[in-house]
Amino acid sequence: MDGIRIVIDVDGVLPSVILARLAAGSDDTLPLMTDIGGLLESSTRERIEDTKTAPDGTPWAPNRAGTSTLLETGRHLRDSVAYIASAGQVEVGAAWEYAHVHQDGAVIKPKDAARLHFMVGNTPVFARQVTIPARPFVGVSADDEPEIERVTLDWLSGLISGLPGGRP
């Protein structure tokens, strides 16, 4: 699983007494992880609704119907995007049963017939198999990184300002 590790080197920046108190008070990172989770959930939904790109910026392959990719079927995917935060990590994903097909791609073959049969708009289509290209929507984008840094610095600033002798 891909991830992010946040390391902030404050050696020589903060007085050692404030640094010691900061380290002691930083055990409750759940608020930070919750903020990061909310940011990444929002970013994931934006990819599905608007940008139509993978987290690495690669545009998604268009669909055959020429409709809004990953948003046509009742918004099931977008509405199932959520995060789970704990003190040590954040997980972002989608609970919709077909989310993995869109994230990773898939090949669909008929089970009990020679061909698949489905409609694209008003046109019937018969196929031996259908390849659904990967359209990754979950992940951390280059645009997410400075936002995560901003949220983390805000959290650290709040810790420092709450310490005796900390800045207001």
Q: What is the pLDDT of residues 7-45, one digit of tens each?
A: 555 555 555 555 555 556 556 788 889 999 999 999 999
* Residue that the structure tokens 């008070």 belong to: 25
What average pLDDT does the segment 74-102 reach?
A: 89
Distance CA 144, CA 66 (A): 28
Q: Which residue in 130, 110, 135, 108 sits closest to 120, CA to CA?
A: 130
Tokens of 40: 């990444």
CB 5 within 8 A of CB 148: no
Note the pLDDT tens digit of each residue in 139-166.
Answer: 999 999 999 989 988 888 887 776 555 5
On the CB side of 164, CA atoms within 13 Å amount to 4
CB 36 within 8 A of CB 151: yes
Domain coordinates of the chain in residue numbers? 16-99+138-161
Distance CA 129, CA 138 (A): 26
- The better pLDDT of the pair 125, 16 is held by 125
